Amino acid sequence: MKIVAITSCPTGIAHTYMAAESLEIAAKEMGIDIKVETQGSVGAENELTEKDIKEANAVIIAADTKVSKERFMGKYIIEVGVQEAIKNPKELIERAKTAKVIDNDFVEEVNKIKEQRKAETKGPYKHLMTGVSFMIPFVVAGGIIIALSFAFGINAFKQEGTLPATLMQIGGSSAFALMIPILSGYIAYSIADRPGLVPGMIGGMLASSSGSGFIGGIIAGFTAGYFVNFLKKIIKLPKTFQGLMPVLILPLLSTLIIGLFMIYIIGKPVSAINNGMTVWLKNLSGTNSVLLGIILGLMMAFDMGGPVNKAAYTFGVATLSSGQPSMIMAAVMAAGMTPPLGLALATIIAKNKFTAQEIEAGKTAWALGISFITEGAIPFAAADPIRVIPSIMIGSAVTGALSMIFKSALTVPHGGIYVLAIPNAITNLSLYIIAIATGTIITALLISILKKECR
C-alpha cells in the first residue's frame, strides 16, 4: 500500500515538520510506503507529483490551514489536524485505509477532467492560469455588482451618494481594483509559493497605477516569482536566522527590486501598448469584429476549457478591466455556453445517436451549458471527437460572430444565463439570446447528421 500526505500548521514551522516525521516513522514501522508534502513557511517542500498521487491508495491531510483537495479527486482521503498526526500516526494510517472516496457522477466526471488538465499543465501556462483562477472571483463579484449599479441606469452611478454610486464603488473601485494585483500575486505564488505573494501583488498594484494594466500585471507576476526563486537560491543563512527569510529578507528585497523594475522599466512602454490595444478594440467594427467573433468562438470550443479556450477567455476578461461593457467578453461567454447546450439538444432530437448513459448526461449538460461551463461537452467529445469537435466549433463560431454583429456587450466575466436577468448587464439582450440559440441549434443539427446510430 502507498499513502501520500500533506502536513501544514498555521505558522508553517515546527508542527508541520513534526507531523511529517511522525507519519513517516509510523509508516516505516507498518511497512507502508508514504510520501509527505510539507506546506511550511517557505512554501511546499517534497511536493507530491501527479505520479505519486496516481499510485497512492489513500491520502492523509494533516493540517490546521486550508489545503486544496482538487488534485486528489477519486482518492480515499482523510482530514485531521496536525496534532493528530503527531500523536496518533499509526491510528491515522489505519483510518486512511477505509476513508471515504469522492463520488464521481457526470458533474464530478467533468470536474475531474478539469482538475486533471490543471495538474497536467506546466511551466508559464500553469502559473498564468493559477493567477487567472484566483482573479476570476474578484472579477465576477465586481462585475455583477457593477451590473447591479447599471440596472438603475447606465449613468446613474455618476450621482454621488446614491445606491448606484455605492455599488460602483464596491464593484469598480474596490473589487476591480484588486483584479490585477491578485493576478500578479498568484502568478508569483504559483512560481515561488508564499514568498512570491508580496512582490507579485505590489508589482500588480504598480501595473494598475502606471497604466500598464493587464499586460503589466502579468509581467510583474512572472518577474516577481522567478526573482524570489533566484533569491532563495543565492541567499544562504544559518539555521538560527532561517525564520527571517519569509518575513523580512525575501519580501523586502524582492518588493524593492520589482517595484523599481515596474516603475522605471515596464510602466511607460507597456502602458503605450495597453492604450493602443484599447483603442483598437474600441474601433472594431464590420468585418473585423465578425472575424474576431468567429476566431473566439472556434477557440472556446476547440478544447472546451483547455489552453486554447482559456486563452480566449483570459483575453475577454482583460477587456473588462475598465469596468465598461465588453463585446469581446459577450462573444466569449456565448460561444462557451453553446457546446454543452448543443450536445444537450442533440440528445433530445437524435436519441438514436446516443447511448442511454449519454442521454441521461444530456440533462446535466443543459445545466452546465446555461452556467457557462464549456467542459460539460468534454465527455461527449471524448467518446466521438471526430464528429463532435468540428460540430461544436462551427456552432460556437456562428454564436461568436452573431454576438459581434448584434453588438452585444457584457459587464461580467461569468455566470451564464443567470446574470442576463440583471438589467443592463448585457446590451441587446434579445439578440444575444438569439445568437446563443442559433449556435446551439446548428451544433445539435450537425451532431445529429454526423453521428452514427448506436446499435
Give catalytic residues, as residue numbers: 9
Q: Alpha-carbon distance 384 to 25, whole Å?
A: 49
The angle that helices 327-349 and 307-318 make with each other, rounded to 10 degrees, is: 140
The grid cell for 141 is 463579484
Strands, sheet with 58-63, edge to edge from the N-terminal-most edge strand? 43-45, 33-40, 2-8, 58-63, 76-80
- CA–CA dist 216, 35 (Å, integer): 39
* Dihedral (CA of 154, 157, 163, 166) sign: positive
12 dihedral zone (left: phi>0; alpha: psi -120 to 50; beta): left
Is residue 447 within 8 A of residue 396, CB to CB? The reply is no
Q: How many Å separate Cα 71 from the centre of its chain?
A: 14
Backbone angles phi, psi at 43, to 5 degrees: 105, -175
Count CB atoms within 10 A of the CB of residue 91: 12
CB atoms within 10 A of CB 418: 14
